[in-house]
Amino acid sequence: GEGGTSTISGKVRVVKLVGEQEYYAQEERVYIIYGDDITHSDDVRTSFDGTYRFSYLRKGTYHIYAYSKDTTGNYDSGKMPVIKTVEISKHNQHIEVDDIIIFD
């Protein structure tokens, strides 16, 4: 959770299902879940270049996610989470997450 010295950052990339365009998402919400919490603990919006950052994190496991258009047909909302799991194992660690790829 918060109160630490580590950061997690990355980018969100959008793939258009029609037209097959790809670009980095602007103003897309990215959520973080601390450890075993059931709901998201915090969220940020991506910058103009698709980047996001969660700062002041302690050691532990985190789930980072953004919502994508559902391509599986399994979600009633039409949206599905694209989740990356990250482990912070020491103080002052900076983890760069692989791109979160969402569909639109």
Region 92-97: what's the mean pLDDT?
A: 96
Could you tell me which residues are beta bridge partners of residue 15? 22, 103
Whose tokens are 């989740």? That residue is 83
Mean pLDDT of the chain: 92
Q: Find, among 74, 65, 73, 72, the residue nearest to 101 by Cα.
A: 65
Query: What's the pLDDT tens digit per position in 38-93?
Result: 788 899 999 999 999 999 999 999 999 999 998 887 777 789 999 999 999 999 99
Q: What pLDDT, on the 0 to 100 scale, is given for residue 1?
A: 58
pTM score over 0.85: yes
Could you tell me the sign of the dihedral formed by the alpha carbons of 67, 70, 75, 76, in that order?
Answer: positive
By the 8 A CB rule, do 46 and 30 touch?
yes
